Amino acid sequence: MVEQLRKDRIDVIVVDPISAVTAACGIDENGNAEVRPLLDRFDAAAREAGCRGIVIVHHTGHDGSRFRGASAFGDWATAVWTLQRDRDGPSRLSAKGRDVHLVKSTLVYDDQTRLLSAQVASADQDGVYFWGKRGTQLTAAVVSEDLNVSKPTATKRLHAAEGWEIVQAWQGSSPDLWEYSGSGPELGDYDPWSSSSSGSPF
């Protein structure tokens, strides 16, 4: 496999679906002790072949709330992308992981460019805005200007924003100062092939 990847100068490996591989290898997709070594071998093969990353495609369970089988699939992944395809409506995409956060968005296909674009519902715009502001400090005045809302509305949205809290309370003429302190992806660049990293960059 590594020799073929090198020969064809493959940049990104896509395994679609992973269940075909587990079945062919006699691996129980519900067993963490069997699934994790397989995923780690994909990582090792990608590194050896000089690939930039791996996309593992896996199906959800019957309720569609999470991928089926072992929890190792989620533990291994750097980011989990969820594509929901409705028979009677548009497809929707969401993603969450290391420095990745895409709220559930409708996918729109352009016949001219043959490209899909994600359209975030207006109700989810705040989540996108506040996620992008991690690592900075915010005040109601800044949010008010950025989102084009009143200061009272900006304050309400700061209180409702997940992971944001006041780090310096109002004093005299100085307004409340907010920072993101939630758990989750680390900020900054991520090198998936560094010795301290594990899991796929996708």
Strand partners for 105: 93, 120
In angstroms, the CA 54 to CA 49 distance is 12
Q: What is the pLDDT of residue 121?
A: 64
The burial class, CB within 10 Å (0-12 / 13-18 / 19+), for 93 is middle
In angstroms, the CA 151 to CA 144 distance is 5
Q: What is the pLDDT of residue 4?
A: 95
Q: What is the pLDDT of residue 194?
A: 42
Q: What is the pLDDT of residue 119?
A: 77
From the list 82, 25, 87, 79, the residue with the least C-alpha distance to 54 is: 79
142, amino acid identity: V
In angstroms, the CA 200 to CA 101 distance is 16
Give the CATH fold of the 126-180 domain: Arc Repressor Mutant, subunit A (1.10.10)
The tokens for 157 are: 């949205």
Alpha helices (runs of H) in 133-184, residue ranges in sequence order: 140-147, 151-160
Q: Where are the domains of the chain?
A: 1-77, 83-120, 126-180
pLDDT 10s per residue in the chain (202 long)? Answer: 999 999 999 999 999 999 999 999 999 999 999 999 999 999 999 999 999 999 999 988 766 667 888 999 988 988 888 888 777 777 888 888 877 777 778 888 888 899 888 776 655 677 778 877 888 999 999 999 988 889 999 999 899 888 899 998 888 888 999 999 875 444 444 344 444 444 443 3
Q: What is the pLDDT of residue 64?
A: 63
